[in-house]
Amino acid sequence: MKYFEDIKAGDVAELAARHVSEADIIAFAVKFDPQVFHTDPEAAKQTAFGGLAASGWHTNALMISMLVERFKTESLAAIGSPGVETCRWLVPVRPGDTLTGRQEVLETWPSKSKPMGFVRSRTDLANQHGEVVMTMVGLGMIARRPEAAA
Amino acid sequence: MKYFEDIKAGDVAELAARHVSEADIIAFAVKFDPQVFHTDPEAAKQTAFGGLAASGWHTNALMISMLVERFKTESLAAIGSPGVETCRWLVPVRPGDTLTGRQEVLETWPSKSKPMGFVRSRTDLANQHGEVVMTMVGLGMIARRPEAAA
């Protein structure tokens, strides 16, 4: 297992890619974010997006899937998250895009009351053209190494 | 249509409710956030959550569905969002919960370069016990009234 003590500011992880199809974009949006620029390829052409684009919340859902895949690869003792400090959707995610990601640890500090620590990290997702489509600073909670917690 | 000019700081909207079932929680998490406290009711009992809890990203997806339903009721000229300023998941969302929501406009300002304006608003979701489960400050872009934009 990888514990809080094993994480340091400056650590960088590359995240596994995700392909995004038109069907994926529409399926997520019909269920959660049914605005025409996310659900209707024809009507989307008349909007500020100029064509179908993924919901930012869909992009974020893909991001957490990429992060959790990494957590599992590392056997990270991740126990949840208190939230997000900031998130910006910079470039529309389009049908056929392939997203890759990178997470960098910005800061870590131990909990004063529980056997865990906090990690502040920045995650960026980019498309196949090298454009950063989303950048987020988020918080994670990681269990302490059992001997350290005891 | 409701345009940027129709929105003022202090405006409050109540959002339609969403029920969250165990099957909903697991389906979202298996696809996007497959950590045991989101996917496995038995294994979740041994985690810090003490039982199955919805992914925070699932809660946020439900939030945008509640907001978009409101946009449609109001015929709001919503044209997208640049992102989120902050989001905190305060209380776990559990199987069987019913979430209600409230959005309050904090600030509005016109774009200097495009026929639209920005809206900063806070959205809170609460469960059936009156506990706030999530609070978010987000940004939206709303088209200007056509005569004002011309």
Distance of alpha carbon B69 from alpha carbon B24, whole angstroms: 19
Which two three-digit tokens encode residue A58? 């869909």
CB contact under 8 A, B61 and A88: no
Closest-CA distance of chain A to residue B10, Å: 23
Q: Assess whether pLDDT exceeds 70 at residue B150.
A: no
Distance of alpha carbon B149 from alpha carbon A18, whole angstroms: 39
DSSP 8-state class, residue B134: E
Q: Of the candidates A55, A68, A84, which has its C-beta nearest B64's C-beta?
A: A55
Q: Which residues contact B54 (CB under 8 A, 6 or more apart)?
A: B20, B24, B25, B28, B29, B38, B92, B93, B94, B97
For residue B65, give the nearest of A57, A43, A87, A53 by alpha carbon.
A57
**Class (C level, CATH) for B4-149:** alpha beta
What's the pLDDT at A141? 98
**For chain A, domain boundaries:** 4-149
Q: Of the candidates A34, A60, A71, which has its C-beta nearest B57's C-beta?
A: A60
- How sure is the predictor about B122, in pLDDT bands with cuts at 50, 70 and 90? very high
pLDDT in tens, B72-110: 999 999 999 999 999 999 999 999 999 999 999 999 999
Question: B55 contacts in A (CB within 8 Å)?
Answer: 64
Closest-CA distance of chain A to residue B120, Å: 13
Residues of chain A with pLDDT > 70: what percent?
Answer: 98
Single-letter residue type at A148: A
CA dihedral sign, ordered A127, A129, A135, A140: positive
What ipTM describes this predicted complex?
0.96
Q: Assess whether pLDDT exceeds 80 at residue B25.
A: yes
Question: What global pTM score does this model have?
Answer: 0.97
